[in-house]
Amino acid sequence: MFKLGKLTFYVENATFGGSFMDSAMSRRMQSTGKEEFHWFIEIDMKAGDFVTELDEEELIDLEDDEEIFYESVSPRLYHNNGFILNIKSWKDIEGLSLTWDSQYNANGEEAGTLYVFEHEDVTSGTIKFLKRNANKFLVQWTGNANVYWNDEYGEDVPFSFEGEVEFSGVSAYCDDISTLDELKIVMRNFVNLDEYKCIFNDTHNINTGISYTWRFLPKSIDE
């Protein structure tokens, strides 16, 4: 369940996963130019009515057959650039808590993004990975975000999410690393790929050559 101010939305899909870029890909993406690994969480809501409450003067001006304005929206709460965790196994996420007192933390990592009508900033928040059940985590995400709809739903609107988030695995994007054996060695600094099985591998042409993509899922989710 996701609550935004006085509004409630049901969750369509909630996932959590990791993403790696080699240094060549990082340079092409105009990022740090170093090997990078970030974790991402994404929560998509089912469509629901966003109700605009009218003030007394507006209510008086309503015609007899005129209805209060409703707009169907599908909010999305997510991390656009991800965040870093000091763990090697995805299972160690259980019990972790991350807090942002403002839009960015001390490492420059964003508190998140909320989409309602536009993609707006999460201005503060806390994410708690409370308990793991196989490949799903019970997660609480609370905080404040900008909506910019009206006075009530303007800046720093309180929100809360609580529900199961599925671990979607790990992806790797490389412009230089071309073999799985080489990738395993490099990614030891971030995660243990021995915990995973490769389910997807693809290549595509770029201006400077070939780019490589891998997708991994855990070998075991029950331990």
- Check if the beta carbon of residue 93 is closer than 8 Å to that of residue 87: yes
Give Cβ neighbours of residue 97 (< 8 Å, ≥ 6 apart): 126, 127, 128, 129
Residue 87 phi/psi, 5-degree rounding, is: -140, 155
Residue ranges making up the domain that contains 157:
2-52+70-218
Residue 58 belongs to a domain: no
Number of domains in the chain: 1
pLDDT score of 63 more than 80: no
Mean local confidence (pLDDT), 46-61 = 72
Instruction: Give, as one character, the DSSP assignment of residue 108.
Output: S
Residue 140 belongs to a domain: yes
Residue 203 belongs to a domain: yes
Predicted confidence at residue 220, as pLDDT, reads: 87
Furthest CA-CA distance within the chain: 71
- Total residues belonging to the chain: 223
Predicted confidence at residue 65, as pLDDT, reads: 55
- DSSP helix/strand/coil, 194: helix
Rounded CA gap, 167 and 136, in Å? 6
pTM of the model: 0.89
Residue 59 belongs to a domain: no
Number of Cα atoms under 13 Å in the Cβ half of residue 45: 26
Predicted confidence at residue 50, as pLDDT, reads: 83
Q: What is the pLDDT of residues 15-37, one digit of tens each?
A: 999 999 999 999 999 899 999 99
Residue 62 belongs to a domain: no
pLDDT score of 140 more than 60: yes
Q: Among 70-84, 114-128, 131-145, where is mean pLDDT lowest?
A: 70-84
Residue 60 belongs to a domain: no
Predicted confidence at residue 69, as pLDDT, reads: 59
Predicted confidence at residue 49, as pLDDT, reads: 83
pLDDT score of 55 more than 90: no
Looking at residue 78, its amino acid is Y
Q: What is the pLDDT of residues 175-204, one digit of tens each?
A: 999 999 999 999 999 999 999 999 999 999
**Residue that wins the pLDDT comparison between 69 and 145:** 145
* Range with the largest mean pLDDT of 24-33, 55-64, 118-127: 118-127
Q: Tell me the average pLDDT of the chain.
A: 92
Where residue 67 falls among pLDDT bands split at 50, 70, 90?
Answer: low
pLDDT score of 59 more than 70: no
Looking at residue 111, its amino acid is A
pLDDT score of 66 more than 60: no
Q: What is the pLDDT of residues 69-118, one digit of tens each?
A: 567 899 999 999 999 999 999 999 999 999 999 999 999 999 999 999 99
Residue 65 belongs to a domain: no
Predicted confidence at residue 62, as pLDDT, reads: 62
Burial class (CB in 10 A: 0-12, 13-18, 19+), 96: middle
- DSSP helix/strand/coil, 213: strand
Instruction: Give, as one character, the DSSP assignment of residue 94.
Output: T
Residue 91 belongs to a domain: yes
Strand partners, 48: 73
- DSSP helix/strand/coil, 69: coil
